[in-house]
Amino acid sequence: MARHGGRGWYGKVAGAALGVTVLATGASVWTAQAGTEGDSTPKATAPAKPGSDVKPVDTSIEHASDAGARGINITIDDGPDPRWTPQVLDLLREYGVKATFCMVGTQAQAHPDLVKKVVADGHRLCDHTVSHNTAMDKKPQSYQSQQILDAERMITEASGGVRPMYYRAPGGAFTPYSRQLAASRGMRPLGWNVDSKDFERPGTNAIVATVERELHNGPTLLFHDAGGDRTQTVQALRRILPRLKEQGYSFGFPVH
């Protein structure tokens, strides 16, 4: 089961000293909270690459959209996959939507053409580890480091040098260490607010209904373009994207 990184998000801790971010537009409906894993943040260091342009980013788990008060972040996880990713890319192009692709390192390595296509279409890359171990928060730091840094390298090589801008732990299994490490590599920890549950293949109608029902939770929506038959995901996106546009939403990227 996926762990839900966005739970407890709905402004519950607004006003608490937890690093609450309010969207720049001042809309009070959607606020984003920082990670809730506790205050201790062990130091994590990554090997410095000579001439690297890596700039550290904030270590808190981001949920907000750079597209403003009615911005939506479409995030697509676990690919790329030669069958499903092209279909998702076609849909996104059709509706003029930019998305964030959280890629598994081995998938990126196996399909560099797809990684380059994602980048060429203006989407952003996100590091989703090498092995997609949803229990990696229970693993030693050495394991977490290998999973994150190897995937970063695989994705960057596959893309032809475009680095992932975000890090999303499989199943939301972040640790303070992994957040610190990713952030030191310029990858903002990325959560989600709405799990479409598309991975469970509940039917296209159910996926659409889940998104509409939970949209009030916040702007970052979770879908998948790999890990099984994603026909329902593609069909659901074909309905969700135009509907959200009609409702006045715009599409952007998670705040970096």
Write out the catalytic residue numbers.
77, 224
Q: How far apart are CA 244 and CA 25, in angstroms?
A: 19
Q: Least distance (Å) from Zn ion to the CB of residue 2? A: 7
Cα of first residue to Cα of last residue in the chain, in angstroms, is: 27
Show contacts with Zn ion in window 197-256 (CB under 5 A): none
Q: Least distance (Å) from Zn ion to the CB of residue 169? A: 9
- Taking CB under 5 A as the binding criterion, the range among 8-16, 167-175, 201-209, 228-236 that sits at the site for Zn ion is 167-175
- Taking CB under 5 A as the binding criterion, the range among 14-22, 73-81, 143-151, 236-244 that sits at the site for Zn ion is 73-81
Q: How far apart are CA 201 and CA 40, in angstroms?
A: 38
Token pair in block for residue 80: 């790329």
Q: Least distance (Å) from Zn ion to the CB of residue 48? A: 29
Among 78, 137, 152, 198, binds Zn ion (CB under 5 A): 78
Q: How far apart are CA 80 and CA 120, in angstroms?
A: 14
Residue 195 binds Zn ion (CB under 5 A): no
Q: How far apart are CA 181 and CA 90, in angstroms?
A: 34
Nearer to Zn ion, 70 or 168 (CB): 168
Q: Other CB atoms closer than 10 Å to residue 35's CB: what's the count?
A: 20
Among 9, 76, 77, 218, binds Zn ion (CB under 5 A): 77
Q: Least distance (Å) from Zn ion to the CB of residue 102? A: 6
Q: How far apart are CA 92 and CA 97, in angstroms?
A: 5
- Taking CB under 5 A as the binding criterion, the range among 81-89, 164-172, 204-212, 214-222 that sits at the site for Zn ion is 164-172
Segment holding 144, helix H or strand E: helix 141-159
Provide the pairing of β-strand 31-32 with 188-189. unpaired
In the complex, the residues that contact Zn ion under the rule CB under 5 A are 77-78, 170
